[in-house]
Amino acid sequence: MTDAKTPFELMMAQAQEMARAFNPALETFSPKGFEKMWPTMPKEFMEMSFGKGLSKDGLDARTRLLITLAGLTMQGAQSDTQVRLTVRHAIEAGATKDEIAETIAMMSMFAGIPAMTRAMEMAREVMEDQEDDKS
């Protein structure tokens, strides 16, 4: 009996071979490495761009980022890079670890336990990475 591959596995193998043909360095590409190149915006810049700059009586950047995190969790936490960047920016904007965890946990009622668990794992990675950076 042969180990037949699924169409998805075949497509992924073909895509990896194509990437290797275009640029051998892409074989070891990591989205997490790319995320580290993306700078965290200062809280003041986020407030100007996404917070009080739009409406002086509107939501602050911290709240907007927590809402964004809730939305990403609702989508099934499938956008790893966006979830991790949003957590990182929420912390920079003043959100606490407890607020981030509560935001994600609250989505379990709407998005389900698997989506909540996935988002929580990604958030935990970001928070642990930031603790390691401070050490």
Burial classification of residue 77, based on how many CB atoms lie within 10 Å of its CB (0-12 exposed, 13-18 middle, 19 or more buried): buried
Q: Are 27 and 16 in contact (CB under 8 A)?
A: yes
- Residue 97 to residue 103: CA distance in whole angstroms: 10
pLDDT in tens, the chain (135 residues): 556 778 878 887 887 788 778 777 766 766 666 666 666 777 777 766 666 666 677 788 899 899 999 999 998 877 888 999 999 999 999 999 999 999 999 999 988 999 999 999 999 999 998 777 766
DSSP 1: -
In DSSP notation, 90-117 reads: HHHTT--HHHHHHHHHHTHHHH-HHHHH
Q: Under CATH, to which class is 38-134 assigned?
A: mainly alpha
Q: Where are the domains of the chain?
A: 1-30, 38-134
